[in-house]
Structure 1
Amino acid sequence: MPLTAMGLIFWPLSFLFFFRKDPQRLLELTLIGGVLQAAAVLVMGGLGLQPAMAPGMLFIAFMGLQLMLGVKFPAAGRVLKFCTPLLIAFSWALVGSIILPRLFEGVVLVWPQKLDDVATRVPLAPTRGNITQDCYLVLDLVMFVMTIFFLTRREADPRRLYNAYLVGAALACVVGFWEMAHRLVGSIPFPKELLYSNPGWAVLDTQMSGPVPRINATFTEPSACATFLIGTLYSTVWCALRGYGNWATRVMIFLCTLCLLMTTSTTGYVAMIIGLALLIVYAILSRERRLFRRLMMFIAGGVLCMGVTTLALAAFAPDVIKAAAEVMLETQDKKQSASYEERTQKDADSYQLAFDTYGLGTGWGSDRSSSLLPGFLATIGVVGVLMLVVWNGSLFLKIYRTIKGAAGERSLDAWMIEATFTALLGRTVATLISGPVLGTMDFYVLLAMLVSALIRLQTRAGKQVRA
């Protein structure tokens, strides 16, 4: 099990915070490490342990020791009750990963988790993919619950966690600009061995869009980079419009937008349009004049900046305009590309698997689709998807009631609810367009931040009512 260069950074820091009894720092390091998805801190055979897992596993160990030593978490019962639908859905996925591949073994064809050896569908059978995906699922679930336990305590500071999330996004953007400079100039060194050290992923860092290089920053491919940045963009734009943001938030809006454009990812562009449409619809339906006014100013400022930039480039760098036009034409023609047809075929095959298995699915980790919904239907089936719909519906309802009940309150918890919800919404929208999984540890830390803020705000509101 060789230790990588990234491991020499993350493991010492993680053990330092563990022995200093500082779980807050471990969570912050998990969020920062969440952007380094193409790197590994430890290599085990053909698998690489992602950087976020080093502090994440030590955080789980620290919280487990706390529970064993009798440390009480007053909100533990309420947390488990709140998350019961999600826990049931996860249990169904785990049980299904054991039973369903054996129940439908050899009956249907699936796309395997790893396509390096065979680029075609194979007969369904229990594989190592079921075990590894179950391990990731259990690890993410435990991390989610333990993070909520910690964040419902007084010493936790969710503001620092959100700042760490923005630091991670800024790191991804800086690396993206560095990669672009390296690919354009060539003489500028770029640390590929450090950032792309995970042997379990195929890193697509040589793609082009017309004459323009496509960047993937610290991620495995441009669409993965765009998916992460969309979440950050949704969150920072919403915080700025709602008046929660500061100068750092506004800087991140600019950096994320510029880096998203450089990925030339259709997923990112479509998710940006969907986000803008959702903002306009919400501003109209909510009838919040201040939000609508800020949104119109934001759109006008964006259009003005694009117009000025276009005029400046047309006057001083016309080749850039030609290259941008070629990129847009290639983006529009992606529906005729072989990769688009391959992804569409994978999704169609995954939808068919839901019918062929009578809505039960093939088992978690058995099939790998191109998008999230067909992947869920093919693996956990209609039953699992309905459980997730129930959980998400109850979560949305609680968010709506809590925010409505705390109307006008500018508390830290209200800010965290809106900031994390929009970040999760952005990543989910992008993954629904083109992404097979949501199973990264930093995603579940953000989800835990959202749930813990909801619980704190509801608890405080209940005490005020009783008083």
Structure 2
Amino acid sequence: MPLTAMGLIFWPLSFLFFFRKDPQRLLELTLIGGVLQAAAVLVMGGLGLQPAMAPGMLFIAFMGLQLMLGVTFPAAGRVLKFCTPLLIAFSWALVGSIILPRLFEGVVLVWPQKLDDVATRVPLAPTRGNMTQDCYLVLDLVMFVMTIFFLTRREADPRRLYNAYLVGAALACVVGFWEMAHRLVGSIPFPKELLYSNPGWAVLDTQMSGPVPRINATFTEPSACATFLIGTLYSTVWCALRGYGNWATRVMIFLCTLCLLMTTSTTGYVAMIIGLALLIVYAILSRERRLFRRLMMFIAGGVLCMGVTTLALAAFAPDVIKAAAEVMLETQDKKQSASYEERTQKDADSYQLAFDTYGLGTGWGSDRSSSLLPGFLATIGVVGVLMLVVWNGSLFLKIYRTIKGAAGERSLDAWMIEATFTALLGRTVATLISGPVLGTMDFYVLLAMLVSALIRLQTRAGKQVRA
């Protein structure tokens, strides 16, 4: 099990915070490491352990030791009750990964997790992919629950966690700009061995969009980079419009937008349009004049900046305008590309699997689609998807009631609810467009931040009502 260069950074820091009894720092390091998805801190055969897992596993170990030593978490019962629908959905996925591949073995054809050796569908059978995906699922679930336990304690500081999330996004943007400079000017060195050290992923870092290089920063491909940045962009724009943001938030809006444009990812562009449409619809339906006014000023400022930039480039660098036009044309023509047809075929095959297995699915980790919904239907089936719909519906309802009940309150918890919800919404929208998985550890830390803020705000509101 060779240790990578990235591991020489993350493991010492993780153990340092562990022995200093600082779980807050471990969570912050997990969020920062979440952007380094193409790297590995430890290589085991053909699999690489992602950087976020080093501090994440030590955080789980720390919290587990506290539970064994008798440390109590007053909100534990309420947390488990709140998350019951999600826990049931996870249990269904784990049980299905054992039963369903054997129940439908050889009956249907699936797309395997690894397409390096076989670039076609194979008969369904229990594989190592079921076990590895189950391990990731259990690890993410335990991380989610333990993070909520910790964040419901007084010493936890969710503001620092959100700042760590923004630091990770800034790191991804800086690496993206560095990669673009390296691709355009070959003499500028770029640490590929450090950032792309995970042998379990195929890193697509040589793609072009017309004459313009496509960047993927610290991620495996441009669309994965765009998916992460969309979440950050949704969150920072919303915080700025709601008055929660500061100068760092506004800087992140600019950096994320610029880096997102450099990925030339259709997923990112479509998710940006969807986000803008959702903002306009919400501003109209909510009838919040201040929000609508800020949104109009934001849109006007964006249009003005684009116009000034276009005029300046047309006057001093016309070649850039031509290259941008070629990129836009190529983006519009992606529906005629072979890769688009391949992704569409994978999704169609995954939808068909849901019918062929009578809505039960093929088992978690058995099939790999191109988008999230067909992947869920093909693996956990209609039953699992309905459980997730119930969980998300109850979560949205609690968010709406909590925010409505705390209308006008400018508390830290209200900020965290809105900031983390929009970040998760952006990443989910992008993954629904083009993304097979949603199960990175930093995603579940953000989800735990959202749930813990909801529980704290509801608890405080209940005490005020009783008083």
Distance 2:72 2:37 in 1: 34
Distance 2:157 2:451 in 1: 14
5+ residue gaps in structure 2? none
Equivalent residue number for residue 148 of structure 2: 148
**3-state SS, counterpart of residue 15 of structure 2:** helix
Distance 2:412 2:183 in 1: 42
Distance 1:85 1:72 in 2: 24
Deviations 1:113-169 (A, max 9, x none): 000000000000000000000000000000000000000000000000000000000
**3-state SS, counterpart of residue 43 of structure 1:** strand
Deviations 1:5-51 (A, max 9, x none): 00000000000000000000000000000000000000000000000
Shift of residue 101 of structure 1? 0.0
Distance 2:327 2:310 in 1: 15
TM-score by length of 2: 1.00
Shift of residue 374 of structure 1? 0.0
Deviations 1:71-128 (A, max 9, x none): 0000000000000000000000000000000000000000000000000000000000
Equivalent residue number for residue 398 of structure 1: 398
Distance 2:183 2:436 in 1: 28
Shift of residue 452 of structure 1? 0.0
TM-score by length of 1: 1.00
Deviations 1:379-433 (A, max 9, x none): 0000000000000000000000000000000000000000000000000000000
Distance 1:442 1:185 in 2: 33
**3-state SS, counterpart of residue 48 of structure 2:** strand
Shift of residue 240 of structure 1? 0.0
Shift of residue 368 of structure 1? 0.0
Distance 1:255 1:170 in 2: 7
Kindly report which structure 2 residues correspond to 1:8-87, keeping only aligned pairs within 5 A, or say none.
8-87=8-87
Kindly report which structure 2 residues correspond to 1:115-130, keeping only aligned pairs within 5 A, or say none.
115-130=115-130
Shift of residue 298 of structure 1? 0.1
Deviations 1:327-367 (A, max 9, x none): 00000000000000000000000000000000000000000
Distance 2:436 2:220 in 1: 13
Shift of residue 375 of structure 1? 0.0
**3-state SS, counterpart of residue 37 of structure 2:** coil
**3-state SS, counterpart of residue 416 of structure 1:** helix
Distance 1:307 1:317 in 2: 15
Shift of residue 377 of structure 1? 0.0
Shift of residue 269 of structure 1? 0.0
Deviations 1:291-310 (A, max 9, x none): 00000000000000000000
Deviations 1:424-451 (A, max 9, x none): 0000000000000001000000000000
Equivalent residue number for residue 369 of structure 1: 369
Distance 1:4 1:277 in 2: 43
Equivalent residue number for residue 292 of structure 1: 292
Distance 1:119 1:305 in 2: 45
Distance 2:206 2:71 in 1: 51
Shift of residue 64 of structure 1? 0.1
Kindly report the root-mean-square deviation, in angstroms, between the aligned alpha carbons of the 2 structures: 0.1
**3-state SS, counterpart of residue 168 of structure 1:** helix
Distance 1:276 1:186 in 2: 37
Distance 2:157 2:292 in 1: 31
**3-state SS, counterpart of residue 376 of structure 1:** helix
5+ residue gaps in structure 1? none
Distance 1:439 1:396 in 2: 20
Distance 2:396 2:363 in 1: 27
Shift of residue 171 of structure 1? 0.0
Equivalent residue number for residue 255 of structure 1: 255
Equivalent residue pairs, number: 467
**3-state SS, counterpart of residue 197 of structure 1:** coil
